[in-house]
Structure 1
Amino acid sequence: MPNNSIKTVRNDMKTLIQDAQDLFREASHNTGEKADELRARGLTLLDGAMEKAHEMQALALEKGKAAAEGADVFVHEKPWHAVGIAAGIGLVVGLLVSRR
């Protein structure tokens, strides 16, 4: 998922949740039919936010599995390259940690 799509979904989620919170606050000050309408709209917004969150989670899981499969294939095809990369990363992390 491109970074722009992730930012868009994140912003959409924040907006949906903020709108739902505003509706619930307003509904708490109103009574009767108006309050019921506001609560219903708020619940609809929250349902939309949950649906987007589930879609994002499913997509992230799918991308994670694809990345893991790609790494597995790479390691099986080029094991010494993988060992060299891992050693290099370990060296860099070790140097960074030892500086603190």
Structure 2
Amino acid sequence: MADTTDIANVSKDKLVSDMRIVVADAEEILRATANQAGEKVGELRERITERLRDAKVRLQDAEAAIADRTKAAARATDDFVHEHPWQAVGVAAAVGLALGVLIGRR
């Protein structure tokens, strides 16, 4: 279950990063075409500007949701460790042993 959550968080982080790049590229295109005249170009610039505004809002919402979920996961982990300290120590020891064995084989 934790692996699925980690993959989902990485995917969401990647999506947010990709969206930032798309927004930056679109803004650069708008700046580069600022001197272009014509009715169709003006309409296109308006539509792109509006969609960029919407995308920025959604991007901020996604970032806030990711931050909230990350904080919730950290709180849950902290609560678990405080409620079950010896199990947490055991899990940490097992992970350390497994990593030691893997590193030792190289």
Using structure 2 for the length normalisation, give the TM-score: 0.62
Q: In the aligned structure 1, how far is the partner of 2:79 from the partner of 2:38? A: 62
45, 51, 62: which one aligns with 2:51? 45
5+ long unaligned stretches in structure 1: none
1:35 partner letter:
V
- Percentage identity across aligned positions? 39
**What CA distance in whole angstroms lies between the structure 2 residues aligned with 1:45 and 1:67?**
33
1:76 aligns with 2:82: yes
Relative contact order higher in (CA < 8 Å, ≥ 6 apart): 2
Alignment RMSD: 3.0
Matched residues in 1 for 2:45 and 2:97: separation?
56
- The within-5 A match list for 1:1-100 is 10=15, 17=22, 21=26, 28=33, 31-100=37-106
Q: 3-state DSSP class of the match of 1:46?
A: helix
- Using a 3 Å threshold, how does the CA distance of structure 1 residues 35 and 86 change in structure 2: closer, same or farther? same
Find the residue that maps to 1:45 and give its secondary structure.
helix
TM-score (norm 1): 0.65
